Amino acid sequence: MVPRLPKGPYYGVLAEFTTPAELYHACERVRDAGFTRWDAHTPFPVHGLSKAMGLRRSTLPWIVLVMALTGAGLGFLLQWWVHTTAYPLVISGKPFFTWPAFIPITFEVAVLFGALGAVFGMFALNRLPMHHHPLFSSKVFERVTDDAFFISIESWDPKFDAERTVELLRRSGATHVELVAS
């Protein structure tokens, strides 16, 4: 789960665009060129950018569902075991297995496991924690949280060639393109 950077002099290429529309069209060009290890960076969400990038739906909802169902099953099983096997107490003449009384705890454990699945699943899918990213060494990239739009293509992409990748991004309308050291 620890992110590893590729061997070699470059992390990849970083290209700056001035508007969200230019970034959107550049993402379509990069996607159509066949790149798979790249990302778009924006200061705010850009509608339709994931479609332009060719991203598939996240698997995170399935992780949350499986964890929530696991939590519900374990919570219900634990209560059943406690009330029927470990500490079978007759309270007011009720039977040992009274499932309606188990529903609140079952729900709460399902929510707890679902929330834990969401947090740790997000960390795993985003390859976090990564305390230092090579893009942070670029002075131009500091504007990504303010008013600039970027595409970064990683050097371990099978289609990566430094000269041709830089040329593709320049033809796509980038105002600034730089090779980022690893």
Residue 182 in tokens? 């690893």
Element housing 24 (H / E): helix 20-32
Residues 77 and 45 in one domain: no
Residues 103 and 152 in one domain: no
**Residue 140 identity:** V
Question: Is the residue at 150 inside a domain?
Answer: yes
Going by C-alpha positions, the residue among 50, 33, 62 that lies closest to residue 172 is: 33
Neighbours of 2 (CB within 10 A): 6
Total count of domains within the chain: 2
DSSP state of 6: P
Predicted confidence (pLDDT) per residue in 63-89, tens digit: 999 999 999 999 999 999 999 999 998
Q: Is 72 within 8 Å of 118 (Cβ atoms)?
A: no
Between 7 and 93, name the one with better pLDDT: 93
Domain limits for position 96: 60-125
Residue 128: predicted pLDDT: 87
User: Against a cut of 0.85, is the pTM above it?
Assistant: no
Confidence of residue 157 (pLDDT cuts 50, 70, 90): very high
Predicted confidence (pLDDT) per residue in 95-131, tens digit: 888 899 999 999 999 999 999 999 999 999 988 888 8
**Mean local confidence (pLDDT), 14-39:** 97
Residue 1: predicted pLDDT: 46
**Mean local confidence (pLDDT), 146-156:** 95
Residues 51 and 72 in one domain: no
Which residues, other chains included, contact 31 with Cβ-Cβ below 8 Å and sequence gap of 6+?
A: 52, 53, 54
Give, in order, the Cα–Cα distances in Å from 42 to each of 24, 35, 92: 11, 19, 63
